[in-house]
Structure 1
Amino acid sequence: MTRLLTTTALLGALALPAQAFDLTDMSDAERAAFRAEIRNYLLENPDVIMEAVAVLEERQQADAAQNDEAMLEANKAALFDDGFSHVGGNPEGDVTIVEFIDYRCGYCRRAHDEVAQLIAGDGNIRLITKEFPILGPNSTASSKFAIAVKHVAGGEAYEAANEALIRLNGEMSPKALRRLADTLGVDADAVIAKMESEDVAREINETRALAQRLQINGTPTFVVESQMLRGYLPLQAMQEIVARVRAEG
């Protein structure tokens, strides 16, 4: 009976205007009863907690997406037309995907073939590759090598280097890089010299600065038009996102 009266009083209090119900003006006994009723209600209705968590997560995701969209809009030129990042797939495609990669990233390696399938199977996607080495000296050496190959031998050679590096293990020693350059059929001396050039350093530094502005701290990270996708996505999920982007037009 006491609990029923307390609950009735509590509900009556909660029905009052906010200014008429001051939680800070409760006595210790009233505050204890109030807390006990909340606890009892949650224990009897635990689904309410899960519902509240789900609502909170939805709001956080919506806020994050809105924040991502604003950041992408503010950095559109650097993302889609920086003048140096390799553009593959269909350069005239109706959907642009930007991928931030690190050749030593396990999830980048996992995504690589699926991205290739997406591009080949669709035929109308423009793929921009951002060299974003964040996993140590071997990552940095790999990106420097890929960019140097692009400068020395062009886009097709860069794509071949990208394909080789994403599968390559071991130290990126000068000997290993020279051997890789020979395998790719490019001028090893020119590539190795170019790796330490200001042009190569500038590309990596500008991409790192862009990633910092976009709050990107992991790879792979994808940008599909105005949507940020952080982390690995399977092929079907990427296809669905591309289809949705097209539908939204």
Structure 2
Amino acid sequence: MTTTPRGGRRLAGLAALALAAALILPIAAPSAEQTDRSAPIRLAQATTPETAAKAPDVFSPEQKKAIEAIIKDYLIANPEVFLEVQSALETRMEEIQAKRLQAAISSQAEEIYRSPGAPIAGNPTGDVTVVEFFDYNCGYCKRAFGDIAKLVEKDSKVKLVLKELPILSKGSEEAARVALAAKAQGKYWEVHRALITLRGQANEATSLAAAEKAGVDMAKLKADMKSEAVTQEIARVRELAQSMGIQGTPHFLVADRAIAGAPQNLLELMSQHIAEVRKDGGCKVC
């Protein structure tokens, strides 16, 4: 059986795709000077629904079916094209997200790194700031906490800014309110540690129980949970995350370097970024 070389099939497929693209490109009606068969046909530079509706069909129904068959055969013979397209799309989306993030960092550095309402752990005057967006019911956030705690313990120059981003459930916001209320009593880190390592669902009941074990004033805590300051902090973080294009937790910033998710080598990756930031002269945005 004779087979077409792979490169030939790819070229044929690309040609078919190009023809398919032509189906949606209306062709401008020829002018008086272009009635001659040798005159060039110009593609419309801009189209509207009205002009597109008036544009004549370029191919007959039979030709369209033939082109569709070529495209179908090509894609079936070369399914890896879909992976190539997906890979290209992911790369493009990562580039767009990186640009969006850098723009947000430039315009909202004060809110990201120095917001007075955000809880802080580690060294408040550290030379490199690590920011974490998290949800108490996020399994990956729970897994990442061990590395975060180790980083703060081993590097006395790191400032950790914690952004409560309760997006998974009603219980997530209830837990966030408990933790933020504990901040008013200087007990945020203790309650945060208890909640992020909590087994099972984090909600108001389980979070209050954890806070009580941490030794907070429960009457004051319950009042502060409903305070405007707590409500505004949660709203600010949600708005900030949206402007930065953050759609899931955890999400980390090491200075202006992003780490999405909780990779297995998170501690190593963060330590590497911190060392590079210091080598480059320190954090320029923190």
Shorter-normalised TM range: 0.7 to 0.9
Aligned length: 231
Sort the Cα spacing of 1:62 and 1:246 in 2 relative to 1 into closer, same or farther, 3 A: farther
1:95-147 CA deviation, whole Å, 9 max, x = no partner? Answer: 11111111110000000011111222222211000111111121111100001
Corresponding position of 2:247: 217
Higher helix share: 1
Higher radius of gyration, 1 or 2: 2
Per the alignment, in what secondary structure is the counterpart of residue 98 of structure 1? strand
**Which residues of structure 1 form unaligned runs of 5+?**
8-18, 27-37
Corresponding position of 2:47: none
Sort the Cα spacing of 1:45 and 1:144 in 2 relative to 1 into closer, same or farther, 3 A: closer
CA contact (8 A) 1:220 1:232 kept: yes
- CA deviation after TM superposition for structure 1 residue 222, in Å: 0.9
Corresponding position of 1:245: 277
Per the alignment, in what secondary structure is the counterpart of residue 126 of structure 1? strand
**Which residues of structure 2 form unaligned runs of 5+?**
5-10, 12-39, 44-57, 60-70, 282-286
- Confirm whether residue 233 of structure 1 aligns to residue 255 of structure 2: no
Per the alignment, in what secondary structure is the counterpart of residue 239 of structure 1? helix
TM-score (norm 1): 0.74
Task: Between 44-53 and 65-74, report the one with greater CA deviation.
Answer: 44-53
Corresponding position of 1:199: 229
CA contact (8 A) 1:84 1:203 kept: yes
Query: Structure 2: how far apart are the matches of 1:44 and 1:136?
Result: 45
- Within 5 Å, give how 1:152-171 maps onto structure 2: 153-154=185-186, 157-168=187-198, 169-170=200-201
Corresponding position of 2:50: none
Corresponding position of 2:23: none
Find the partner of 1:74 among 107, 111, 131: 107
CA contact (8 A) 1:68 1:227 kept: no
TM-score (norm 2): 0.65
Find the partner of 1:136 among 161, 169, 173: 169
- Within 5 Å, give how 1:31-110 maps onto structure 2: 58=91, 60-110=93-143
CA contact (8 A) 1:90 1:127 kept: yes
Query: Structure 2: how far apart are the matches of 1:46 and 1:208?
Result: 40
CA contact (8 A) 2:181 2:230 kept: yes
With CA pairs under 8 Å and 6+ residues apart, which has the higher RCO, 1 or 2? 1
CA contact (8 A) 1:99 1:128 kept: yes
- CA deviation after TM superposition for structure 1 residue 216, in Å: 1.4
Corresponding position of 1:172: 203
1:139-196 CA deviation, whole Å, 9 max, x = no partner? Answer: 1111000011111x11xx110000001122346344861x333311111111012111
Residue type of the alignment partner of 1:138: G
CA contact (8 A) 1:73 1:226 kept: no
Corresponding position of 1:14: none
1:48-101 CA deviation, whole Å, 9 max, x = no partner? Answer: 998887677555534432222112111111101111101211222221111111
Sort the Cα spacing of 1:191 and 1:45 in 2 relative to 1 into closer, same or farther, 3 A: closer
- CA deviation after TM superposition for structure 1 residue 247, in Å: 2.9
Sort the Cα spacing of 1:188 and 1:245 in 2 relative to 1 into closer, same or farther, 3 A: same
